[in-house]
Amino acid sequence: MQVKEAIESRYSCRSYKPERVDDGLIADCLQCAALAPSACNKQPWKFYVVRGEKKAAIAKCTQLFGANSFTDSADALIVVTAKPSAIDKAADKIKNLDFSANDLGLAVGNLCLRATELGLGTCIIGWLQAGKIGKMLPLSVGEKVKLIVAIGYPADAPRTKKRKPFSDTAIFLG
């Protein structure tokens, strides 16, 4: 699969088959995530692949106000954390730039595209109780839960992508 095909095929999967994904496939996706660029190559991310009882408990922490009930059907939840480096903190303080959030977005993008190529479904989840989830994981000092990626074999079908008109978002100057 070419990169463009993976970009066009990826969608937020919100229903999963009750089939286990081989750990090797998830590791492959995480290796692709870790190849993403990051500010000063600080790689502020960590990925916790969670299944079983802990996964069920973490899923509940994404289901506020009736949201994200599909997380119960995912084979695994990948909890993505960031531990901002001193450079990240300085950039945030001096310039109000959130480098580590940018870095995580790039890493999670790679993860989802590689998963698509491997026939897996993913959904990025930002609606979550970060503090509660963090208490269930062996986080180091300063490490914070930022995102979750649900992963599994898709039980739904890709939807037509809804996007703003290209001319609203791409501006060519000069």
Ligand X SMILES: Cc1cc2nc3c(=O)[nH]c(=O)nc-3n(C[C@H](O)[C@H](O)[C@H](O)COP(=O)(O)O)c2cc1C
Comparing every residue's Cβ against ligand X, the nearest one is 126
Which amino acid is present at 118? L
CB closer to ligand X, 93 vs 162:
162
Both tokens of 83, joined, read 């531990």
CB 41 within 8 A of CB 85: no
CB closer to ligand X, 101 vs 137:
101
CB closer to ligand X, 20 vs 159:
159
Q: DSSP state, 69?
A: G
Provide the binding-site residues for ligand X, judged by CB under 6 A.
11-12, 14, 68, 123-127, 161
Question: Cβ 65 to ligand X, closest distance in Å?
Answer: 11
Which amino acid is present at 130? A
